[in-house]
Amino acid sequence: MTTQNSVTCTERVRMNAVFGLLFLFGGDAILLYGMMSENAGSPGMMIAAACGIVGMLFGLYYMCCFLNKKITVSEDGVTYTNWRAKRQNYTWDEVSVSFHPGRNAYFLFDLAGKKAKFYGYAYNAQALYDYLFENERYDEDTMRVLHRIEEEAAERERQLRLEEEKDAAFWDEDES
């Protein structure tokens, strides 16, 4: 298998867009209710209006978080671009990568103390996984777990092949 020079993985988190819209419209509704009610000048309505404004700000924040975040890995190191398009370069000495397999699999990059999480459904995640595995860029615990998973999968595959051969031999005997 040939190794690529670099791999870029991007992620959009749809749930952030949902939360963003929910907060935007919810905050807007609370703000409008506070402004349109009969007691518009009362302290309770002022607090409700302030909560509406805060809700709208949260909505804007979540909408901004929906924007892409991107990570590029290469022989030289890692380039991370956050949702504000701030680009940061790290050498492999500053980076620790772990992979957490399972239903909600994710990569956890420790970039000189700053954590960045990329889920398995991110665009090009399989290529990122393969690149990091082939170049042994995961931390030691992750590599040990991934090698164990590969060994177990190879053993299961070997067992299935043996069962298929046994079944084929059984049917061959039956036909004779």
Residue 88 lies in a domain: yes
Number of domains present in the structure of the chain: 3
Residue 38 lies in a domain: yes
A 10 A CB-CB count for 22 gives: 14
Domain co-membership, 106 together with 131: yes
84: domain range?
69-138
> Which residues sit opposite 118 in a β-bridge?
107
Domain co-membership, 158 together with 108: no
- Report pLDDT for 90: 94
CA distance 12 to 16: 9
Mean pLDDT across the stretch 21-28? 86
Domain co-membership, 133 together with 143: no
Query: Tell me: the pLDDT tens digits for 127-139?
Result: 888 888 888 787 7
Query: Residue 126: which CATH number?
Result: 2.30.29
Higher-pLDDT residue of 31, 78: 78
